[in-house]
Chain A
Amino acid sequence: KNEVEQSPQNLTAQEGEFITINCSYSVGISALHWLQQHPGGGIVSLFMLSSGKKKHGRLIATINIQEKHSSLHITASHPRDSAVYICAVPNFGNEKLTFGTGTRLTIIP
């Protein structure tokens, strides 16, 4: 079973700061998901990546397959970025996801 760990568990920052959230996993994978969950509970997929780097607006995700590590960065953070960010890895074959425990991000104006 793949173990997925995230750090930090909680992160509070001032508006405008550069944010980094880390994710490590124990078993080799073909892809990794970064997800965002707002207080209402619904989950939105931010990225799915299998190598290198992806960018969408102020969000950047990187993955190092050899080191079994991924990072999510937020540039010029804004209070509306406040949410829980979760990384998840799929199981080979049925693609069911194993999730990290999430990072609760709070951006203070």
Chain B
Amino acid sequence: DTGVSQNPRHKITKRGQNVTFRCDPISEHNRLYWYRQTLGQGPEFLTYFQNEAQLEKSRLLSDRFSAERPKGSFSTLEIQRTEQGDSAMYLCASSPNFSREAFFGQGTRLTVV
């Protein structure tokens, strides 16, 4: 198992474009989290999946953001009509059930120009 994998690692996009990021968690990890980290800050929670069910969404996740986890495996995070304020590092983490351990991916750094 290669750990949590995120693609792409970097994305530069023009304001107003849509972008999609992918996270492949460690296999058999039921829980998957998306976090966002802006420059100089700690990461902030965006959303959480238990298998394929999206159980919680932060208020940070505006209606331009949508996340899915079909079949309870990989997850995608889409941002529509990107804004400069969306520029950040988007981090994915996965955990097995009944464990407090968290395994992070390398993140996707988004720059909106």
| B103 to chain A: closest residue by CB | A45
B31 touches A95 (CB 8 A): yes
Nearest CB on B from A41, distance (A): 4
> Which of the segments A27-35, A55-63, A64-72, A74-82 contacts the partner chain?
A27-35
Q: Which residues on the B side are within 8 Å of A98 (C-beta)?
A: 45
The SS class assigned to the A binding surface is strand
B48 within 8 A of A: yes
Residues of B in contact with A (beta carbons under 8 Å apart): 31, 33, 35, 37, 40-45, 48, 50, 55-56, 89, 91, 93, 95, 100-107, 109
Quick check: B42 and A86 within 8 Å, CB to CB? Answer: yes
Task: Give the tally of cross-chain contacts (CB within 8 A).
Answer: 66
The distance from the CB of A24 to the nearest CB of chain B, in whole angstroms, is 14
- Closest B-chain residue to A50, C-beta based? B100
Given A40-B106, A97-B93, 6 more pairs with CB closer than 8 A: A41-B89, A43-B43, A43-B91, A97-B43, A99-B44, A101-B41
